[in-house]
């Protein structure tokens, strides 16, 4: 495997929070062996998961299965033991969290599993999206909250790569050798808040809490393989080879296999010729574009903006929204913006203005006059980018909006 480059992974990036040395990790450990990063001076994960945040989500909202479940000593507890039914308007609803039952089972040693947090926790979703854009792979996040002295799942392995982020409390981990790792005795690692573990797909592991309640995030990374890229190239060629749409001859199953093999060989040669001439750069670019426009949505503030559109004039100061994705592709007379979960097309001549606006530095709208001379065109562009979530106005940023009670499970 060719060593990966650490270029583009800043000190405060999502990946930098998952490991202690991004460059060394990518070159030495990624996909090959487990890595434990125990650093008492590293920042923790209070912004993503706290015990109080978990309590709030389970006791003050109507969280439903399958977004949470309970396990104990490796055994799944039936949802009927900790959920209840209710109504939403005139419709019956099942699987609603029963806070009293959850608290009781937790006291009895059950581990609370919060599933697919990237779909319903704002800070976790933002972190997951950033990690996806950095790595180029889809990610998912579950949280495991274990009472003192208890164990959630027995020794097991996951079919995808995993980062473990210890958020609070302490937890002891048994980490066996990864499939591509040299044989070794299992590691016995105790993690405190801020410590992490990386495990390639197939690494056997188990965890147990220590003398206090413990919570960690498990980030699953679904790594794409060259097989996927080759399959995409094959599919693009096969779809364009019209001769393959011809029907097999009647009675083919009784014909001489050698005659069929000859005809099949002709078809394969035709496909091979098309494969040799394929534009690999264009194919990989389109794959990257699909990835960068199909992430989970990051629409925080979009309803507020549409309910009361902010006033924008040449004196307004705007800057890129935190966590906003913006990759640009120039195609002829058009500028295509890949905004994480969608594509946006603009006239190509706006590229210099968009590049300036997409930087992290604040921009006064009137300062764009050198690249967008028409005042109304400047305002239309900025309003559109605000509506799309790429920009925000300093005076009324999304960060100033009230935080909903179930938006995230971190501090604050």
pLDDT score at 42:
65
pLDDT score at 96:
97
Residue 402 lies in a domain: no
Residue 54 lies in a domain: yes
120 pLDDT higher than 90? yes
Same domain for 278 and 182: no
Q: Are 171 and 146 in contact (CB under 8 A)?
A: yes
For the entire predicted model, the pTM comes to 0.86
Tell me the C-alpha to C-alpha distance, in Å, between residue 223 and each of 14, 31, 162, 226, 227: 16, 9, 10, 10, 11
The CATH number of the domain holding residue 144 is: 2.60.120.650
401 pLDDT higher than 50? no
pLDDT score at 402:
37
Least confident segment among 45-49, 93-97, 299-303, 347-351: 299-303
**Which one, of 170, 179, 167, lies nearest residue 205 by Cα?**
179
pLDDT score at 385:
94
Same domain for 18 and 161: yes
Same domain for 353 and 206: no
Average pLDDT across the chain, whole number: 90
pLDDT score at 296:
85
Same domain for 237 and 357: no
Same domain for 280 and 319: no
Same domain for 264 and 135: no
Distance CA 114, CA 73 (A): 17
- 218 three-state secondary structure: strand
Residue 342 lies in a domain: yes
Same domain for 321 and 196: no
Same domain for 312 and 280: no
Same domain for 335 and 188: no
* Model pLDDT for residues 284-294, shown as the tens digit of each residue: 999 999 999 99
3 pLDDT higher than 70? no
396 pLDDT higher than 70? no
225 pLDDT higher than 60? yes
Same domain for 175 and 37: yes
Q: Which residue has the higher pLDDT, 11 or 400?
A: 11
pLDDT score at 352:
97
Distance CA 271, CA 277 (A): 10
Same domain for 116 and 138: yes
Domain interval for residue 107 = 1-223
Residue 179 lies in a domain: yes
Least confident segment among 88-97, 208-217, 331-340: 208-217
* Model pLDDT for residues 305-362, shown as the tens digit of each residue: 777 777 899 999 999 988 889 999 998 999 999 999 999 999 999 999 999 999 978 9
- Number of independent structural domains in the chain: 3
11 pLDDT higher than 80? no
Same domain for 218 and 237: no
57 burial class (0-12, 13-18, 19+ CB within 10 angstroms)?
A: buried
pLDDT band at 41 (very low <50, low <70, confident <90, very high): low
């Amino acid at each position: 495997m060719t060593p990966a480059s650490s270029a583009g992974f800043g000190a405060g990036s999502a990946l930098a929070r998952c490991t202690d040395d991004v460059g060394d990790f990518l070159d030495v450990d990624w996909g090959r062996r487990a890595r434990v990063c125990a650093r008492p001076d590293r920042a923790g994960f209070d912004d993503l998961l706290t015990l109080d945040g978990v309590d709030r989500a389970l006791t003050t909202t109507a969280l439903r299965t399958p977004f949470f479940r309970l396990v104990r000593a490796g055994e799944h507890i039936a949802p009927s033991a900790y959920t209840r039914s209710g109504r939403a308007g005139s419709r019956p609803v099942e699987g609603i969290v029963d806070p009293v039952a959850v608290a009781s089972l937790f006291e009895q040693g059950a581990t609370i599993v919060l599933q697919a947090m990237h779909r319903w926790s704002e800070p976790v979703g933002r972190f997951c999206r950033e990690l996806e854009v950095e790595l180029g792979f889809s990610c998912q996040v579950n949280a495991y909250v274990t009472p003192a002295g208890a164990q959630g799942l027995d020794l097991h392995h996951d079919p995808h790569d995993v980062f473990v982020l210890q958020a609070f409390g302490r937890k002891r981990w048994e980490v066996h050798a990864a499939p591509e790792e040299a044989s070794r005795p299992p590691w016995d690692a105790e993690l405190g808040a801020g410590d992490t573990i990386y495990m390639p797909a197939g690494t056997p592991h188990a965890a147990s809490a220590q003398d206090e309640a413990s919570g960690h995030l498990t980030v699953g990374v679904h790594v794409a393989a060259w097989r996927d890229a080759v399959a995409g190239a094959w599919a693009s060629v096969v779809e364009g080879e019209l001769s393959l749409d011809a029907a097999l001859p009647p009675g083919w199953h009784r014909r001489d296999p050698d005659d069929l093999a000859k005809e099949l060989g002709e078809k394969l040669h035709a496909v091979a010729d098309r494969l040799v001439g394929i534009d690999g750069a264009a194919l990989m670019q389109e794959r990257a574009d699909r990835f960068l426009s199909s992430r989970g949505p990051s629409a925080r503030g979009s309803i507020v903006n549409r309910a009361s559109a902010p006033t924008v004039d040449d004196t307004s100061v705007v800057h890129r929204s935190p966590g906003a994705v913006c990759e640009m592709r120039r195609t002829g007379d058009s500028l295509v913006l890949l905004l994480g979960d969608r594509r946006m097309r603009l006239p190509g001549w706006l590229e210099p203005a968009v590049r300036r606006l997409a930087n992290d530095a604040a921009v006064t709208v009137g300062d764009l006059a050198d690249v967008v001379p028409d005042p109304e065109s400047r305002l239309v562009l900025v309003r559109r980018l605000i509506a799309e979530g790429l920009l925000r106005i300093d005076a009324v940023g999304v960060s100033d909006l009230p935080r909903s009670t179930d938006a995230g499970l971190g501090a604050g």
